[in-house]
Amino acid sequence: MINYSFLKNFTTVMIIATLSFFSFSCKSSVSRNVEQAKADDKPKLQANPVYSDLIIKEQSDYLMIPVILPEQNEEQGIDLSFSSRSYEKNNQFSNIIFYNKQDGETHLLLNKKAIITSFDLLEVKVVNKPNTRFWLYRIIDQDTNTDEKLNSEDATIGYLSDLSGKQLQQITPNNTRIISWVVVPSQNAIFLKIIKDSDNDKKFTKQDKTNFVRVNLDKIGMGTEIISDQIEQELKSYIFK
């Protein structure tokens, strides 16, 4: 009888403990769900643009404020160092703000998502002519390898603008990448060496063709390739026969 009473009491205790455990588990689950719902209801904080140092050129009436690429802020931190000639170094930019020193007017260089990999001030000096100045940009603005993002694997296109960041003109063909460039003052022109994705594999490799593009600075527009297909075929016949 004593053993039966003990077992009965023990069983009762186990049932109560089990019910208490499930009750606690349910309450904990409900509490977690409520907390998660509250967290989801909170508005997500929007990231703020991060600006690099001011670019000040005495030749221009405009100050420039480069906007650092958001992905670069998260992955690499902010590096405000610049090379003396080309504004690229370790930084890449999503846009540039131009600020008029005289009247305070501001505007953006680009009206689209892009990566500015570098920008250079060009100054052409010709005897008995006023100096001409332009900004040359290398910009990634097309997802040429179709991976649904802009990055260094995509084409890098050349653009020119005036010192105010206006009159922006594309000067190198789509689906190409700038290798180098040089200004020839006597011709009032800029020559750019480019590589083309000539085999259409959505990559830029040693198998792709290179060429040179001439851009007339008197009338800025899409550059003209110097080496024609005919000349290239003739050259191949001499080299590889």
Q: What single string gives the DSSP state of each residue in 82-139? A: --SSBS-TT--EEEEEEEETTT--EEES-SS--EEEEEEEEEE--TTS--EEEEEEEE
- The structure tokens listed for 100 are 């008029």
The pLDDT of residue 123 is above 80: yes
Among residues 123, 105, 119, 122, the alpha carbon closest in space to that of 61 is found at: 105
Question: HSE (CB half, 13 Å, CA atoms) of 26?
Answer: 6
The pLDDT of residue 84 is above 80: no
Q: Hey, what amino acid is at 173?
A: P
Contact 136, 101 (CB under 8 A): no
pLDDT at 108: 98
Give SS3 for 25.
Answer: helix
DSSP symbol at 185? G
pLDDT at 44: 66
Cα dist from 238 to 31, 227, 241, whole Å: 80, 16, 6
Helix (H) or strand (E) holding 213: strand 210-216
- The structure tokens listed for 192 are 């750019």
Check residues 211 and 129 and name the one with the higher pLDDT: 211
Mean pLDDT on 216-231: 94
The pLDDT of residue 26 is above 60: no
Long-range contacts of 123-126 (CB under 8 A, 24+ apart): 123/59, 124/183, 124/185, 124/188, 124/217, 125/185, 126/185, 126/186, 126/188
The pLDDT of residue 117 is above 80: yes
Among residues 203, 147, 197, 201, the alpha carbon closest in space to that of 172 is found at: 197
Phi, psi for residue 4 in degrees, rounded to 5? -65, -40
CA gyration radius, the chain: 31
Q: Hey, what amino acid is at 194?
A: I
pLDDT at 91: 80
Tell me the per-residue pLDDT of 4-23, one tens digit each, with 9 for 90 and over: 554 455 555 555 555 455 55
